[in-house]
Amino acid sequence: MINRAFLKAGHTPTLLSAFFYFDMAFMVWALLGPLGVQLSHLLHLTPSQKGLMVALPILSGALLRVVFGVLVDRLHPRLTGIITQCIVLATLVGVWLIGIHSYGEMLILGLLLGVAGASFAVALPLASRWYPPEYQGIVLGIAGAGNSGTVLAALFAPLLAAHFGIGTVFIIAAIPVAIAFATYLAFARNAPSQPPPKQLGEYAAVLGHGDAWWFMLFYGVTFGGFSGLASSLTIYFNGQYGLSAITAGYCTAACVFAGSMVRPVGGALADRIGGIRALSIMYLVAAAALIIVSVGLPVFWMALAVFVVSMLAFGMGNGAVFQLVPQRFRREIGVMTGLVGMCGGVGGFFLASSLGFARQHTGSYGAGFLIFAGLALVALLGLTSVKSRWRTTWGASADVARV
């Protein structure tokens, strides 16, 4: 709860700077998805090439989260954030000056945009380290709300590309990114007390726990579903229903908005009914929604409604997973956040690329949706298999599943 005690407990300018930085970074990270229709026309891409194009920034961002997480420990969050924002700004200006002339250049751009996606590993520790444990939930909720930047990309990128050209979109995007950078330089500060750097051996030690792999799978499905659909839906609505790039972007924005706003709701629901029960419900809903859309609904508004339901499930699932992770890995939460976040991006890469490959080789997106629905059901089976053991060990005190 935001009150006078909360405002005195930490450093509000740093918290708001972290949110602004995270929001603009996620906007940039998601640019290729909303621009996918126009870019595919410009470069004459096949469906599988389109899928890889929009999926590559997700994978790059996922892997770089671990890299920048290590830099946060070694260089501290503020300096690491300065480095990442300089790279992102240089990328945006470079695309505007040089242009995009080939598919190979597009893939290089996707790799560089992954730096923006790695902002998760910088903005959250920057804000979190200023606040005591009793405020971590609200602090991470405020800073993490920056994933709403993907909505801005879906709303405005196709429209700006249609009126001013694709290259101009990147320099226009650089303007709010530069404002966020200036705000960051002026107001963001490292917390007075920084934890000691994590050793690489700590990551290996955590991976020795079977539960770590389960959580990586669980978040790979929830955040993977959210990020994969956010990157692919503009292309899907255009290819499946013939919607214009602008209209398809609006539909995508509606879905992304739904998924990004309910993450705190998922965490709250997990607190109320238990993390495992909440996550089980969300996997069932998400799997059912993807199975429904896999058959190819006759009109776009039906598909839009089902995708909104699936994004609500994935978004709430993201919150439910991180309601469970700190209970099991309280001492290793920093390492687990990096590993789990990385796997979320890997899941998004898999979904976005598989949709393109399915369209390329079968003429339909259905197989890609069905495969990911299957992964959601595998995650559900995994929850069921570990439920009893969790409830009788660490979950006995945490009350992770009230059944």
* Beta strands in 102-180, from DSSP E residues, in sequence order: none
- At 137 the pLDDT is 64
Short-list 127, 132, 130, CA closest to 142: 127
What is the C-alpha separation between 367 and 182, in angstroms, rounded? 45
- At 381 the pLDDT is 95
235, 243 contact by CB (below 8 A): no
- At 401 the pLDDT is 47
pLDDT in tens, 379-397: 999 999 987 787 667 655 5
- Per-residue tokens: 200: 């690489």
* Residue spans per domain, the chain: 12-189, 208-394
320: Cα separation from own chain's centroid: 15
Q: Taking 80 as the threshold, does the pLDDT of residue 2 lie above it?
A: no
Q: Which residues of 83-108 are buried (b: 16+ CB within 10 A; e: fewer)?
A: ebbeebbebbeebbeeebeebeebbe
Short-list 255, 287, 280, CA closest to 371: 287
pLDDT in tens, 197-230: 777 777 788 888 889 999 999 999 999 999 999 9
* This prediction's pTM: 0.89
395: Cα separation from own chain's centroid: 27
Short-list 320, 366, 318, 326, CA closest to 220: 318
55-83 average pLDDT score? 91
Q: Taking 60 as the threshold, does the pLDDT of residue 1 lie above it?
A: no
75-84 average pLDDT score? 94
Which helix (H) or strand (E) element contains residue 53? Answer: helix 47-75
299, 244 contact by CB (below 8 A): no
122, 72 contact by CB (below 8 A): yes
From 120-124, 157-161, 301-305, the region with the lowest mean pLDDT: 120-124
- At 317 the pLDDT is 92
CATH class of 12-189: mainly alpha
DSSP 132: -
Give the number of C-alpha atoms closer than 13 A to the C-alpha of residue 22, restricted to the C-beta side: 25
22, 152 contact by CB (below 8 A): no
Query: Which residues is 401 bridged to in the sheet?
Result: 274
- At 394 the pLDDT is 61
The reply to whether 208-394 shares the fold of 12-189 is yes
H helix count then E strand count, the chain: 19, 0
- At 132 the pLDDT is 82
pLDDT in tens, 229-255: 999 999 999 999 999 999 999 999 999
Please report how the helices 36-43 and 103-117 are oriented relative to each other, as an axis angle in degrees rounded to 10: 160
Q: Taking 90 as the threshold, does the pLDDT of residue 160 lie above it?
A: yes
- At 332 the pLDDT is 74
Residue with tokens 């990157």: 231
Residue-wise DSSP of 303-346: HHHHHHHHHHHHHHHHHHHHHHHHHH-STTHHHHHHHHHHHHHH
pLDDT in tens, 97-108: 999 999 999 999
Q: What percentage of the chain reaches a pLDDT higher than 70?
A: 95
Higher pLDDT, 332 or 100: 100
Computed over every residue of the chain, the mean pLDDT equals 89
Inter-CA distances, 235 with 32, 41, 45, 128, Å: 10, 11, 12, 36
Does domain 208-394 fall under CATH 3.30.450.20? My reply is: no
Q: Taking 50 as the threshold, does the pLDDT of residue 351 lie above it?
A: yes
Residue 5, burial from CB neighbour count under 10 angstroms (0-12, 13-18, 19+): exposed
What is the C-alpha separation between 36 and 49, in angstroms, rounded? 10
What is the C-alpha separation between 63 and 49, in angstroms, rounded? 21
